[in-house]
A and B are shown apart, each in its own frame.
Chain A
Amino acid sequence: MTLRKYLVLAGVTICGATGDSLLSRGMKDVGSISLSQIPQIILAILNPWVALGILFLLCFFAAYMTALSWADLTYVLPATSLGYVVLALIAKFLLHENVTPARWLGILLISAGVGLVAGGPEITHRALPSEPENCMAGSVASKGGPCD
């Protein structure tokens, strides 16, 4: 994993969380829309918050696709979930919302899960079984490997 790849994963997390919160902020202005009022959903993108949110979600999608081009799905997905943690922290420290103990426990569980995956290899190598283990390439055995 190079610095560039960690930056792409950070982009997945931050753009996803920022996009979602901007959409949520914008849709509060737009108000609730029932499914029979489809044109209003299309007009919702004229709201600057929603438009900016969509822009961030496009960046999220580009970063997500980039990450999937060199990492396993089961490696990238926990990184997307880290966005929920970022959202809760924004809610607590920027918006001064109340974060309940159950939510702090949720943050702890997600962080532990992400930490577990990040400690392992990012991609499954379909190398020949006779090939020697190479820590740099990330082809590490699941447990008791020489690189743990």
Chain B
Amino acid sequence: MRLIYAWGAIAAIVLASTTGDVLLSLAMKQVGDVGDLWRDHGLLTVIGRVVRNPNFLLGVLAMTVAFYSLLFGLSWGDVSLVAPASASLTFVANAVAAKFFLHERVDRRRWMAALLVAGGVALLAA
């Protein structure tokens, strides 16, 4: 039963952190190149634009949900299962989400990379 809870927490972590990453990426694309903005308008303008972006705020909220799901997951399952499983599945989920929601060109090179990194993270933390 605890194992089912642990995998439930892993699913919640993957879903929440993928949502968060997609929203944060969307927000920063709307804000535009931070380096250019900083040079032309100053740091305060950059910070102001970022924190007033609704996608940024929703992204941070999703990341907070992911963090607390991780805490709950760690209390139900072993760290050696929850941490690598959620981290490596998040890489794959992010590649899928980036393709469909951010319309990034996820070519064969990037698919391969997502799978390699996911496998590598699982091995490192195992």
Return the chain B residue nearest A68 by Cβ. B28
For residue A113, CB closer than 8 A to chain B, the reply is yes
Most buried by A among B25, B75, B98: B25
How far is the CB of B18 from the nearest CB of chain A, in Å? 10
Binary interface encoding of chain B residues 27-49 relative to chain A, with 1 for a CB under 8 A from any of its CBs, else 0 = 01101111100000000000000
A110 adjacent to B120 (CB under 8 Å): yes
B3 within 8 A of A: no
- Are the C-beta atoms of A113 and B113 separated by less than 8 Å? yes
Instruction: Say which one of A9-17, A45-53, A114-122, A129-137 lies at the interface with B.
Output: A114-122
Return chain B residues, CB-CB under 8 Å to A109.
116-117, 119-120, 123
Within 8 A of B (CB), among A48-69: 64-66, 68-69
User: Does A96 count as interface, using CB distance less than 8 angstroms?
Assistant: no
Q: How far is the CB of B47 from chain A (nearest CB, A)?
A: 10
The answer to whether A120 touches B116, judged by C-beta atoms less than 8 angstroms apart, is no
Do B121 and A84 touch across chains, with their CB atoms under 8 A apart? yes
> Chain B interface residue count: which class?
35 or more
Give CA–CA (A110, B103) in the complex, Å: 24
Question: Is A98 among interface residues, defined by CB-CB distance under 8 A?
Answer: no
Cβ < 8 Å to A, chain B residues 89-126: 91, 94-95, 98, 102-110, 112-117, 119-126
In the bound complex, residues from chain A placing their C-beta under 8 Å from that of B122 are: 106
* CB–CB B121/A106 < 8 A: yes
Q: Please, which residues of chain B bring their CB within 8 A of the CB of A108?
A: 120
Alpha-carbon gap, A66 to B29, bound state (A): 10
With a cutoff of 8 Å between Cβ atoms, the chain B residues found around residue A81 in the complex are 91, 117, 120-121
The secondary structure that dominates the A interface is helix
A107, B120: Cβ atoms under 8 Å? yes
| Contact status B113-A142, CB under 8 Å | no
With a CB–CB cut-off of 8 A, which chain B residues contact A102?
123, 126
Closest Cβ–Cβ distance, residue B51 to chain A (whole Å): 11
B50 CB–A CB distance under 8 Å: yes
Q: Is the CB of A124 within 8 A of B28?
A: no
Contacting pair A142 B108 (CB below 8 A): yes
Q: Which residues of A contact B126 (CB under 8 A)?
A: 102, 106
Query: Please, which residues of chain A bring their CB within 8 A of the CB of B109?
Result: 116-117, 119-120, 142-143
A: which residues have CB within 8 A of B?
Answer: 4, 34-35, 64-66, 68-70, 72-78, 81, 84, 88, 102-103, 105-114, 116-117, 119-121, 124, 126, 142-143
Nearest 4 A/B pairs, CB to CB? A142-B107, A106-B123, A109-B120, A113-B116
